Structure 1
Amino acid sequence: DNNMVDMICQLYSNARDPMKGRQLPVMYSSKKQGFFSISGNLATQVIQGVGWAMASAIKGDDKVASAWIGDGATAEADFHTALTFAHVYRAPVIINVVNNQWAISTFQAIAGGEGTTFAARGAGCGIASLRVDGNDFLAVYAASKWALERARSSFGPTLIEWVTYRAGPHSTSDDPSKYRPANDAARFPLGDPIERLKKHLIGLGAWSNEEHEATKKALEAQVAAAQKEAEQYGTLADTHGQGVATMFEDVYQQMPPHLLRQRQELQLGQGA
């Protein structure tokens, strides 16, 4: 699967990385699929999503933007600006708020989730808003499809608050045991989304434990094969990289003379 290989190459920032090592590893993107990178600057991707949707409407195509934000980042000003623009310009955008209860170290109440819901913020701006069980796959699919059809029918934006839970750390630098109980994830009432869907399908007679295990093994093999192929182009531990001369590229449409000189000096110094 070339798409998966490209994504893993981007995670490794190796020689085949389509971003050429110029993005944080987890902030992968794919221009071919219209998948824009998340942003390290919290909440900015939401207003970018609204702007992209406004451009789509102005061009008259049927593309819809779908922007994602966490519960903590809703406290950023960009989120509220995005709501205003989405409402005023009837932008064909779905604003997804993933309320997984915890930002990097603060409970969602710190971002204002205790006194009211995050969905209520959309309603306050005149935007159709839903609060959905984010661990119910069928509910997620149905709500997303509804919002997509609204946007394509020129009814404008939808805000969806997905109620879920962040079971693991926020990042490799985060230790959730410092600020929440260790067994918190197991006590979350909405359960595990994969386990819930599995039980539901088995109950309907449309699935079985055997099919589940076989599918899991097949998918793991597919990912392992893509990872093995990607590692031929380098890993984080053994990177082949892009070559230092590429640091001068992709900033200007035409490289200015001073950068051309610097690149030449670098290559001469390396004996290139």
Structure 2
Amino acid sequence: MSQATATRYPLVLVPGMLGFIRLLFYPYWFGIVSALRRGGAVVFAVQVSPINSSEVRGEQLLARIEAILRETGAQKVNLFGHSQGSLTARYAAAKRPDWVASVTSVAGPNHGSELADYLQKNYPHDSAKGRVLSAVLRAVAWVMGVLETGYRGPKLPVDVHASHQSLTTEGVALFNQRYPQGLPDTWGGQGPEEVNGVRYYSWSGTLQPGKTDRGANLFDGTNRSCRLFARTFVREAGHCDGMVGRYSSHLGTVIGDEYPLDHFDIVNQSLGLVGKGADPVRLFVEHAQRLKAAGV
């Protein structure tokens, strides 16, 4: 068996908003967990509240990390967070750096999401439209909970307003004041590679005509959604994956911020239907190899 991705510490994958481990037979990290395990990695896909604040999700993640450390005998874990999972992972690392060897942000809104700002402005939580949107999201979370077959823990709380606030530019700015580890000093720059013994990395994608709208994405409904969501972006118009801006995603060492991948492609969702020439699974495998070479 190959040991190419056999990192020193287990890999823990943290999903974003409305995330899951497995819906019936369909995994959130489609093809990624199996590829990492084939290379010798010890991998845990975890579940936290699908809709809640990054802090609440972070506390749930800390409890899961503690259980993993106890189960494996490892001293630390490597965290991979997709979307809001990045903020969740950052919280856990800031609170318990002794438990975390690295944090890798995958399309994480580390400076907020312009889509969340648009929804806050046009669908405020105390308006009729906002209440309808909240009801829809709660219903989706309930259905996903019924279909979830990878999680068998206690029922996880849902708070739509707290989740939304956690993703706005304003909400993330407050989060960043409390937990600045790994953030760049300048917009569009790179952050420190290591803080308090924790290594920080990030990568993200952008919508690119001729690439992200070709190939298997021609049959991918989530790609169409990302293209619609991208219209809400102003500051990073033309430089986003549909939900997170290119520069907003930066954290620690930036491995890349213009991969031809939308917000869902980057974790190989929609049964691996991705744009022309894209290979999101390879990014995870190569990063595991990078972490192994770094001794974590």
What TM-score do the two structures reach when normalised by structure 1? Answer: 0.36
Please say which structure displays the higher CA radius of gyration: 1
Which protein is richer in strand relative to its size? 2
What TM-score do the two structures reach when normalised by structure 2? Answer: 0.34
